[in-house]
């Protein structure tokens, strides 16, 4: 192919109940592009450019951009000889938002490179590479953003790969990014180094019950299990407006409210479009801190990466 473009949707890590083990890919119902795109094409000399509404928050030194680091890592992992390429990153996600911004760039870059070169890496190998690159940004290797962004839907991390869970077709996921940025590494540092036995047992029980509910399509049980035993108690006080918003959204009828990734984006689950619209209206008026913030009513992005190829 002369040019390959990959779009990787935004993702929501943890989904409250599955710290580092559960993630969901998001697609706004109004068709808004909520995810990064990377294009790869042949070139006589290496070239890299950035565009998009959030290009200004990227590192000023191109060598520090995760997309170029992905190129080097891809050639090393695939065993292919390095060659000059022209790459374009369309940055549509804010950095430090809790929407898998770095993961989206990593997934789009790795997927585009793999497709451009005829897919020398398997899905398992490519996902491993994505997780390692994401770990360079967040401070630890985890897959709950890269897996859904790459594979789509609601993904459970298992020992050797990831597995798409049966989701609930009538759920609306209302997400709101306040407009401020929070470092994933710093938000992870808020968590205790050790948890007591009761907390870890509750975490395991809740995640197991949620997975069981997904397979049995038991909405009541799944919604009851969407609670965070590990991270939210420590992170919530450090996310401006989150505690008040959670209470207000619950009053409006949201079935569950949680932190997307490490925040500040929050999510709420609504079972009808009218409640979702009311939740979005509240968030637009009361949660967004500046003009860079936004709220969207989403469904799950079932396809994950979407490709466009040109000969």
**pLDDT tens-digit readout, 206-252:** 999 999 999 999 999 999 999 999 999 999 999 999 999 999 999 99
147, two tokens:
């897996």
Average pLDDT (104-130) is 97
* 104 marked as part of a ligand binding site: yes
Q: Would you say the CATH fold of 172-300 matches that of 3-165?
A: no
Asked whether residue 99 is marked as a ligand-binding residue, the answer is: yes
Is 101 known to sit in a ligand binding site?
A: yes
Confirm whether residue 38 is marked as ligand binding. Answer: no
103 is in an annotated binding site: yes
d(CA 148, CA 155): 6
d(CA 278, CA 286): 12
Q: What integer pLDDT is reported at residue 137 of this predicted model?
A: 73
- Please indicate whether residue 44 or residue 142 has the higher confidence score (pLDDT): 44
Mean pLDDT (the chain, rounded): 94
Q: Residue 190 pLDDT more than 80?
A: yes
Strand spans (E) along 228-300: 256-259, 266-270, 294-300
Compute the Cα dihedral for 128, 6, 147, 162 and give only its sign: negative
**3-165 maps to which CATH number?**
3.30.230.10
DSSP state of 129: H
Q: What CATH architecture applies to the domain 172-300?
A: 2-Layer Sandwich (3.30)
Quick one: pLDDT band at residue 182, thresholds 50, 70, 90? Answer: confident
Residue 268 labelled as part of a binding site = no
pLDDT cut 90: percent of the chain above it: 88
Domain ranges of the chain: 3-165, 172-300
Q: 205-238 burial, b if ≥16 CB within 10 A, otherwise e?
A: ebbebbbebbeeebbeebbbbbbbbbbbeebbee
> Does 304 belong to an annotated binding site?
no
pTM over 0.75: yes
Contact 285/204 with Cβ under 8 angstroms? no
**Mean pLDDT across the stretch 171-200?**
93
Find the helix or strand (DSSP H, E) in which 215 lies.
Answer: helix 197-216
Q: What is the pLDDT of residue 1?
A: 61
pLDDT at 268: 98
Predicted confidence band at 64 (pLDDT cuts at 50, 70, 90)? confident
- In this predicted structure, what is the pLDDT of residue 139? 67
Give the pLDDT score at 176.
98
């Amino acid at each position: 192919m002369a040019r390959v473009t990959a779009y990787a949707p935004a993702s929501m890590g943890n989904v409250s109940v599955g710290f580092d083990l559960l993630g969901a890919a998001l697609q706004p119902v109004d068709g808004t592009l909520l995810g990064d795109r990377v294009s790869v094409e042949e070139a006589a000399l290496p070239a890299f450019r950035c565009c998009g509404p959030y290009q200004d928050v990227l590192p000023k030194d191109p060598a520090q951009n995760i997309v170029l680091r992905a190129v080097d890592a891809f050639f090393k992992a695939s065993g292919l000889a390095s060659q000059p390429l022209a790459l374009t990153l369309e940055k549509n996600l804010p950095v430090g938002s809790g929407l898998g911004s770095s993961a989206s760039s990593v997934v789009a870059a790795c997927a585009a490179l793999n497709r451009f070169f005829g897919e020398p890496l398997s899905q398992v190998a490519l996902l491993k590479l994505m997780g390692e690159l994401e770990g360079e940004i967040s401070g630890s290797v985890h897959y709950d953003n890269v897996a859904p962004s790459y594979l789509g839907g609601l993904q459970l991390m298992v020992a050797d790969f990831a597995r798409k869970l049966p989701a609930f077709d009538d759920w609306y996921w209302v997400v709101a990014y306040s407009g401020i940025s929070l470092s994933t590494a710093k938000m992870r540092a808020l968590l205790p180094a050790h948890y007591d036995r009761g907390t870890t047992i509750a975490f395991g029980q809740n995640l197991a019950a949620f997975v069981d509910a997904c397979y049995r399509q038991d909405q009541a049980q799944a919604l009851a299990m969407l609670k965070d035993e590990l991270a939210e108690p420590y992170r919530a006080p450090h996310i401006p407006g989150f505690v008040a918003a959670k209470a207000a959204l619950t009053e409006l009828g949201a079935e569950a409210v949680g932190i997307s990734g490490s925040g500040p984006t929050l999510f709420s689950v609504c079972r009808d479009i009218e409640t979702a619209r009311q939740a979005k209206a509240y968030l637009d008026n009361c949660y967004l801190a500046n003009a860079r913030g936004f709220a969207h009513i989403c469904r799950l992005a079932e396809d994950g990466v979407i490709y466009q190829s040109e000969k």
